[in-house]
Structure 1
Amino acid sequence: MTQANDRNFDQLIDKFDRKIYQTAKGEWRLKLLKEDLTPFYDAADALTVWDAGCGFAQISLWLAKRGHHLTLCDLSEKMLERAREAFINEEVTAEFYLDSAQNLALKLPQYDLILFHAVLEWLANPMPTLQTVIEQVKPGGHLSLLFYNRNAMVFGNVLKGGWRWKNVLDDSYLGKGSKMTPPNPQYPHAVIEFLENNHFKIITHTGLRVFHDYLNHETLAQSNADELFELESRYCRLPTFRDMGRYVHLVVQRA
C-alpha cells in the first residue's frame, strides 16, 4: 500500500471539524470514548500510548494531561499541526510523526495502549493495515479501535428508500473516499472475528449514535437532546443496539 491510496484530510480539515466536533454528535462521541477509556486514564502507572492516525488528538491530549506518554502520527500535515498546537497550548509533550500508521509501525516499539480511531474505514487496505498496527500492542496491552459501521450505512440507506435500495443491493452505496462518506466501512462481526483470530480478547464493545443517525431532521428538532443522549447511553453497550451505531468502539486486550 502507498500513502496516496489512503485518505488525507488536508483539504477537508475545516469541514471535518465543523461537521463532527462542533456538534452534539462530536460531544457524544468523545464522552463515550472517554467512558470506555477511563480505566487507562486512571492507571496507577504512566502508560505508553500510540495514537495511530490522531486527527485533532482530543483523546490523546486528555491522556497526556493525566501523565501518560503519547506518540502521535497522521497522514495529514494539517491535522498533525492542529494536534501539535493543542499540546503546546496545554503545555504537555508528545512525539509527533507525519506518516501513515502502517509505515510508522515498522519503526516504533510496542505500546501499552494503541488508539486507532476512525482510520480503518479510510484506508485502501483496511485489514492488512490493522494487522500491522496490532503487532505493536504489547502482550497484555490493549487496542482501542473505533470504526465506521457498515451495518449502520446499510440500514440508513434502506430506511431512505427509493434509488438507494438498488445501490445497497449492488454495494454502490459505499463512499468513494473523496468526500465525508468513507469507502471502507466495516462489519463489527468481521472485525471482532479478525481480532479474536489474532489472540485479542474483547473487553469493551460500544456503539456510538445507535439512534441519532436514524432519526429525521423533524424528529430531532422536536425532541430533547438530553433525553436522546440518555437513550444512547442506556442502549449503546447492549447486544444488537451496539452493532447498529454509526461507529463501533472496541477495547481489546492482547493475550
Structure 2
Amino acid sequence: MRPHEHRPEGEYEVKGVAFRDAGGSEQEAPPPPAAGRQARRVTWQKVTFLPAVLVAVLLLTWGWFQQTDLDSISRNALADGNVWLRLRQHIQLTVISTFFVLIIAIPLGILLTRGKLRRAAPAAMALANIGQATPAIGLLALLVIWLGIGEKAALIGIIVYAVLPVLSNTIAGLKANDPTLLEAARGIGMSPLGVLGKVELPLAVPLILAGVRTALVLNVGTATLATFGGGGGLGDLITTGMTNQRMPVLLLGSILTIVLALLVDWLASLAELFLRPRGLEAGS
C-alpha cells in the first residue's frame, strides 16, 4: 500500500511534498452568547454612579442647612414635617398622573393603529400636541376655574401635559414594525390579538418605554406647578421661598425637585434595559 494512501483526509502528496487543504482544520469561532452582551449593558457604574451623586448632593444640602441660621419664617416653612409632606405629595402626584397617562395613551395608541381608526391618528396627535403646547400654568389656571382648587385639577393638568410622548411613541413603535413579520405571524394562523400581543407590542416596547421615561420626567417637573392649583408638592416650598425671599427654603425645594427628577429618570433607564425583550437585546 502506498504511503500517501494512509494520509489523513484533506492531505495530499505532490512530488514527495505533503500538502493540506487550506482551512481544512480551521473552525469558525462560536459567536459570543447573547446573554453576555445583555449583561454588559447593565454595568456597576450605571447602577451606582448616579445614586451616589444624588446621595452626596443631599448630604451636602443637609450639612449646609445645619450650618445655616434660619429665621422664624424659614423655620415655620420647614417645621412640623412639612418637607416630608410636600415630598410625599410630589411623589404621589407623579405616580398617579403617570398611571393614568399609561392607561390612556398606550391603549389609545394601539386603537389608532387599527383598521379604520388609523384615519383618526393625525387628529388625535394634533389634539395631544395642543395639550402640550399650551403653557402648563395657563392650562392649570383654566382647570382650576373649571374644577376648583385642589389635587384633582392639578392631576388632570399633569396628565394632559404628559400624554403626548407616550401616545406618539406608541403609534410610532407600532407603525415601525416590519410588515413581513406581521404577515408571517398571520400566515402561521395567529389571531389579530395574538399578533398584537406576541409580535407587535414586544417589538414596539423600546419606543414605548422611551416615551414613558420622558413622561415621568415631565410629570416630576410639571407637578411643581400643582401648588398654584392647591395640589401641594415641592412647588409649595419653591413658591414660599420666592414670595418671602427666603433662599434656604427656595434652595431646598429646588434641590429636592431636581434630585427626584434625576432619580426617576435613572429608575426609568434601568426599567428600559430590564423590560426590553431579550430577543431585541440579542440582535442589537
Tell me the TM-score normalised to structure 1 length: 0.26
Bigger radius of gyration: 2
- Greater strand fraction, Structure 1 or Structure 2: 1
Tell me which of the two structures has the higher relative contact order, counting C-alpha pairs closer than 8 angstroms and 6 or more residues apart.
Answer: 2
Q: Going by fraction, where is helix more abundant, 1 or 2?
A: 2
